[in-house]
């Protein structure tokens, strides 16, 4: 789910605030700071076409993407499995935004949504795929994007902490028909990224990343190696990563465009000068800032 950070080393900005302030204020704060954490959100013109009929937000969390997609699309469909987050989104979005309380997957029915022991979903690390930070589960409805009967889909954001392949399998017909842009969080510390990249390549999609101020083809950016080298950034948590002074970016999201399309080439406005500190070639450690490495060079989960 959106907002995920290291599960043990730090809690998200939203999770830290949640016990002390009303949920709506936590959500508003998270939406406010999120473009500085995920600068692609400030580049929606490069991601979501201006004539977008339907935009889909899979893993809505507190709604930073849903809120910014709403003015750009005639319809927005948000799929969020955590019940209290889905209710919050449904109560605070325009009429053309539809919030569905369910998890997206490759089948319809019910599934276990895994969460940490001390979390109700606010940390943004819930998933249908269990990993070591998870200790308890909720039974939630699950569905496929194909089953929703959506039409004229121009953009889909997917942030599901490891369940990306299943979401894509459940959207096969939609992708073939509408050819939407896809913005997908891919974390090598959760699972290898190659299966998703390969699956989409077979369908005519090419990946792009934003390590600095301009889009770079994923084929020329070793994402897994970058994430291993930059693992110490993940452990800093959202608050440390949005307040100045900020260090280099940790890239964990990929824009996939079909049929030779390319993203816009304008410079980032809201990301700030720290974006330029991110190395163009993360395989060269001499060009990386020093930082504590996780065991075996991999980020901690």
Has residue 99 been placed in a domain? yes
- Is 0.85 topped by the overall pTM? no
Tokens of 240: 């440390």
d(CA 252, CA 60): 17
Has residue 2 been placed in a domain? no
Q: What is the pLDDT of residue 113?
A: 95
For residue 174, is pLDDT > 60? Answer: yes
Has residue 120 been placed in a domain? yes
Of 144, 210, 204, nearest in space to 178 by CA:
204
Has residue 175 been placed in a domain? yes
Has residue 39 been placed in a domain? yes
What CATH number does the domain containing 136 carry?
3.40.50.150
* pLDDT tens-digit readout, 29-87: 565 666 556 788 888 989 988 889 999 999 999 899 999 999 999 999 999 999 999 99
* pLDDT tens-digit readout, 207-266: 999 998 899 999 999 999 999 998 887 776 666 655 665 667 889 999 999 999 999 644
d(CA 126, CA 60): 12
Q: How much is the mean pLDDT over the chain? A: 80
DSSP 127: B
Please state, as a whole number, how many other Cβ atoms lie within 10 Å of the Cβ of residue 58: 29
Range of the domain at 205: 13-297
Q: Confidence band (pLDDT; 50, 70, 90) for 160?
A: very high
Number of domains in the chain: 1
Cα dihedral 10, 14, 15, 19 sign = positive
Q: Is 251 helix (H, G, I), strand (E, B) or coil?
A: coil
Q: What is the pLDDT of residue 192?
A: 92
Has residue 3 been placed in a domain? no
Has residue 272 been placed in a domain? yes
DSSP 253: E
């Amino acid at each position: 789910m959106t907002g995920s950070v290291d599960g043990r080393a730090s809690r998200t900005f939203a999770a830290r605030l949640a016990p002390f302030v009303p949920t709506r204020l936590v959500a508003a704060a998270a939406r406010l700071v999120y473009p500085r954490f995920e600068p692609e959100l400030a580049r929606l013109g490069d991601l979501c076409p201006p004539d977008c009929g339907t935009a889909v937000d899979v893993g809505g969390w507190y709604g930073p993407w849903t809120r910014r997609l709403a003015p750009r699309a005639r319809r927005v469909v948000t799929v969020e499995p955590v019940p209290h987050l889905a209710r919050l989104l449904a109560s605070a979005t325009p009429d053309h935004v539809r919030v569905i309380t369910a998890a997206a997957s490759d089948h319809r029915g019910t599934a276990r949504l895994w969460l940490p022991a001390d979390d109700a979903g606010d940390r943004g690390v819930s998933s249908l795929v269990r990993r070591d930070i998870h200790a308890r589960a909720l039974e939630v409805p699950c569905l496929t994007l194909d089953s929703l009967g959506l039409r004229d889909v121009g953009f889909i954001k997917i942030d599901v902490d490891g369940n990306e392949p299943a979401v894509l399998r459940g959207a096969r017909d939609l992708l073939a028909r509408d050819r939407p842009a896809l913005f997908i969080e891919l974390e090598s510390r959760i699972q290898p990224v190659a299966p998703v990249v390969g699956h989409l390549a077979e369908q005519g999609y090419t990946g792009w990343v934003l390590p600095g101020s301009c889009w770079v083809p994923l084929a020329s950016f070793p994402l897994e190696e970058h994430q291993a080298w930059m693992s110490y950034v993940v452990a800093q948590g959202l608050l440390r990563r949005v307040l100045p002074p900020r260090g280099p970016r940790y890239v964990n999201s990929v824009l996939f465009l079909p049929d030779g399309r390319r993203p816009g080439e304008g410079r980032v406005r809201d990301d700030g000068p720290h974006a330029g500190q991110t190395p163009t070639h993360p395989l060269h450690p001499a060009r990386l800032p020093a930082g504590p490495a996780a065991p075996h060079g991999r980020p901690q989960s």
